Amino acid sequence: MHLQTLKSPLPCSDAALRAVSPGEARAIFQNPRGRPNRSVLLRPQLAVSCKGNGIAVVDSGSSSGRSPYCCREEERARKAGKVVDVATLGNLCVDIVLNVPELPPDPFEERLAYMERLAASRPDKKFWEAGGSCNLAIAAARLGLRCITLGHVGKEIYGRFLLDVLHDEGIDMVEMDREAENNVTSAYETLLCWVLVDPWHRHGFCSRADFSEDPAFSWMTNLSGEVRIAIKQTKIIFCNGYVFDELSPRLISTTVEYAIDVGTAVFFDPGPRGKTLLHGTLEQQRALQILLLKSDVLLLTSEEASSLTGITDPILSGQELIRRGVRTKWVIIKMGPKGSILITRQKIFFAPGLKVEVVDTVGCGDSFSAAIVYGFLHGMTAINTLALANAVGASTAMGCGAGRSVATLDKVLELLKNPYPYEEDNFWDKMVNENSTKNDITLLSTAATHGKQNRVSCVSMQRVVSELLPALCEVGKGRIVGVIRLHVSLWLLRESSTSEPRSELGETAIGLEIFSSA
């Protein structure tokens, strides 16, 4: 029996369609599927506005953990032309999800032979799913964020599949290398990741990137004009450790430094690759240090934080990362089903996880991260951000697989309306007791009351949920209109570009070249 992924259709209502003019509606259906051959320049006067999503920079001097978000910041973002909420960097792949009697062997040669046998014949499309950074992008889009992906996919059937999935979720892609469009060699093909599940629901992963010393797309050497423009128009660029499997450390470093120069916040989740990169080549070590020191937000599991700092205690390791950081505002420690921790330079925030019937944990971390992005951009308090992230991650765990099976907004709302926090082994009571003598702590509490005692502030789950639900319900009402208007604007820009000579793209160009699967 194969692992089934469920494709969630974009909700549509008559009211939403009425919000778009007849001319705009006709434009949607005139927009052909497949990647256009010409560029589309998003000019500021035609760009889609992102209501309520300004650049939020967390004040390291704030004791509340709240991002200072206000009309001034939103206006600054608008004037800067930052109309995209989040862009993912690289790691665009198609997951092939298969049940297998046993996971692949560990020895290099045997593992390579195992993958080659899998790849010898194309698996049925029912086993395909969008993977890698697509998980975060899809989860973020379902929370109402404007998303793009920066990366490369091939022109073969897998690349077309991936672009179709992103298109259906309202996500656009910027090709990182224009020359790649005309190259059909295997080095330019879409990356496949074989996600193997044994009878005990343990996961194994393998792709061609695992068997090469060089990144899969090592032929990418420069940051193109199109990508620079995309980053300029983006509020947050999100990187994970798997981007090193595709792009050279030098190109990753250049991208991060450029993002910082143009006022784009950097989020980094090193994942399991962090430990190997720490002991990798000099270029890998340098790029890793740039990301660790200069990211605005770091997201790690407790094990990953320990491997990067040599400190086993999750609080102390998180504090060490934020102490080293030049720009770091938040360090998020993911504690699995137990919940999560957010550390600032002044405070610590604890949020117990939610009890759910776990079906599959693939994609939970990416979904969790999407909600952190949402909270950061919307100026939510740290404790509310963690509560939302826990709910989004738990909702994904209730489904099968990642990609289109990551949490939907409806599932998140349903879970928040009936939350059952993790309370086993008095885990969070112990965490509070061990850390409250030296730190100011805010705890998401199951108790109906809230208040402060000594250095511990308790915020009730009931109160947090009452603050989250109205905002999330508005996301559900407004998303379809926003997605339609985004694609309408893209179509209008395509049409306008046909009557004008193509502009030279460079550092001073305004606009964003987007290759849409629409």
pLDDT in tens, 349-382: 999 999 888 887 888 899 999 999 999 999 999 9
Report helix, strand or coil for 174.
strand
Percent of the chain's residues with pLDDT above 90: 41
Question: In the Cβ-directed half-sphere of 504, how many Cα atoms lie within 13 Å?
Answer: 3
For residue 71, the number of C-alpha atoms closer than 13 Å in the C-beta half-sphere is 0
Q: What is the pLDDT of residue 330?
A: 97
**Encoded amino acid at 280, one letter:** G
Helix (H, G, I), strand (E, B) or coil at 44: helix
CB-based contact 253:282 (threshold 8 Å):
no
pLDDT score, position 119:
77
Higher local confidence (pLDDT), 250 or 97: 250
Tell whether the model's pLDDT for residue 14 goes beyond 50. Answer: no
Q: Determine the average pLDDT of the residues in 419-445.
A: 86
Q: How confident is the model at residue 437 (pLDDT cuts 50, 70, 90)?
A: confident
Q: CB neighbours of 5 closer than 8 A, spacing ≥ 6? A: 97, 129, 400, 401, 403, 404, 405
User: Does residue 170 contact residue 434 with C-beta atoms inside 8 Å?
Assistant: no
How is residue 105 annotated by DSSP?
P
Q: Do residues 137 and 130 make contact, with C-beta atoms less than 8 angstroms apart? A: no
**CB-based burial label for 98 (10 Å; 0-12, 13-18, 19+):** middle
Neighbours of 267 (CB within 10 A): 25
pLDDT of residue 103: 85
Strands 92-99 and 147-151: unpaired
Q: Is the pLDDT higher at 266 or at 69?
A: 266
pLDDT at 185: 65
So what's the pLDDT on residue 34?
Answer: 40
Torsion of the alpha carbons at 240, 242, 244 and 246, rounded to the nearest 10: -120
Structure-model confidence comparison of residues 448 and 294, the more confident one: 294
pLDDT at site 251: 95
pLDDT at 192: 86
**Per-residue confidence band for 502, with pLDDT thresholds at 50, 70 and 90:** very low
CA distance linking residue 472 with residue 398, whole number of Å: 20
Higher-confidence residue of 264 and 194: namely 264
Walk me through the domains of the chain, giving residue ranges and CATH numbers.
57-498 (3.40.1190.20)
Q: How far apart are CA 122 and CA 199, in angstroms?
A: 23
Q: How far apart are CA 27 and CA 490, in angstroms?
A: 10
CA 406 – CA 394 distance, rounded (Å): 10
pLDDT band at 99 (very low <50, low <70, confident <90, very high): confident
pLDDT of residue 505: 37
One DSSP character per residue, 413-479 reads HHHHHS--B--GGGHHHHHHHHHTTTSEEEEEESSS--EEETTEEEEEHHHHHHHHHHHHHHHHHHH
Q: Which residues contact 472 (CB under 8 A, 6 or more apart)?
A: 143, 388, 409, 412, 413, 416
Residue 35: phi and psi, rounded to 5, are: -75, 130
- What pLDDT is recorded for position 508? 33
Instruction: Give the pLDDT of residue 17.
Output: 35
Indicate if the pLDDT at residue 315 is higher than 80. Answer: yes
pLDDT exceeds cutoff 90 at 139: yes
For all residues of the chain together, what is the average pLDDT?
77
Asked if residue 281 lies in contact with residue 249, where contact means CB atoms within 8 angstroms, the answer is yes
Which of 419, 422, 397, 417 is CA-nearest to residue 407?
397
Residue 419 has pLDDT above 70, yes or no: yes
Q: Across the chain, which distance is largest between two alpha carbons, in Å? A: 68
Q: What is the Cα–Cα distance from 341 to 334, expressed in whole angstroms? A: 7
More reliable by pLDDT, 468 or 48: 468
- At 317-339, the pLDDT tens digits run 999 999 999 999 999 999 999 99
Q: What is the pLDDT of residue 205?
A: 82
pLDDT tens for each residue of 261-291: 999 999 999 999 999 999 999 999 999 999 9
Q: What mean pLDDT is predicted for residues 380-401? A: 90
Q: Identify which has the larger pLDDT, 293 or 405.
A: 293
Per-residue model confidence (pLDDT) at position 426 = 85
Look-up of token digits 């470093």? 253
Degrees to nearest 5, angle at CA 432 with 427 and 434: 95
More confident site: 418 or 378:
378
Per-residue buried b or exposed e for 42-71, using 16+ beta carbons within 10 Å of the residue's own CB: beeeebbebeebbbbbbeeebeebbbebee
pLDDT tens string 203-258: 788 777 777 788 888 888 888 888 999 999 999 999 999 999 999 999 999 999 99
**Predicted TM-score (pTM) of this structure:** 0.77
DSSP secondary structure, 3-23, as one string: PP--PPPPP--HHHHHTS-HH
Q: pLDDT grade, residue 503 (50/70/90)?
A: very low
Q: Which residue has the higher pLDDT, 122 or 15?
A: 122
pLDDT value of residue 183: 60
- pLDDT score of 65: 54
**CA–CA gap between residue 373 and residue 376 (Å, rounded):** 5
Using the predicted structure, report yes or no on whether residue 418 has a pLDDT greater than 70.
yes
The first and second tokens of residue 324, run together, are: 């080293």
pLDDT at 385 over 90: yes
